[in-house]
Amino acid sequence: MDALDRRIIAALRLNGRATYAELGRTVGLSASSVHERVGKLEAAGVITGYHAVVDPSTVGLGVTALVGIHPTDTAESEEVADALADLPEVESCYAVAGDEAFVVKVRVATVDELEQTLGRLRRITGVARTRTTVVLSTRFEGRPNNRELDGA
pLDDT tens-digit series, residues 46-74: 999 998 889 999 999 999 999 999 999 99
- Name the pairing type of β-strands 90-95 and 63-71: unpaired
The mean of the pLDDT values for the chain is: 94
- What is the distance between the alpha carbons of residues 143 and 52, in angstroms, rounded to a whole number? 13
Q: What percent of the chain has pLDDT over 90?
A: 87
The length of the chain is 152
In our burial notation (b when 16+ CB lie closer than 10 A, e otherwise), range 32-62 reads ebbbebbeebeeeeebeeeeeeeebeeeebe
Tens digits of per-residue pLDDT, 4-15?
A: 999 999 999 989
**Looking at residue 140, what DSSP letter applies?**
-
* 152 pLDDT higher than 60: no
**Looking at residue 88, what DSSP letter applies?**
T
pLDDT at position 150:
66
pLDDT at position 118:
98
pLDDT-based confidence at 79, cuts 50/70/90?
very high
**Looking at residue 59, what DSSP letter applies?**
G
In our burial notation (b when 16+ CB lie closer than 10 A, e otherwise), range 91-124 reads eebeeeeeebbbbbbbbbeeeebbeebbeebeeb
pLDDT at position 5:
94
Neighbouring C-alpha atoms within 13 Å toward the C-beta of 147: 2
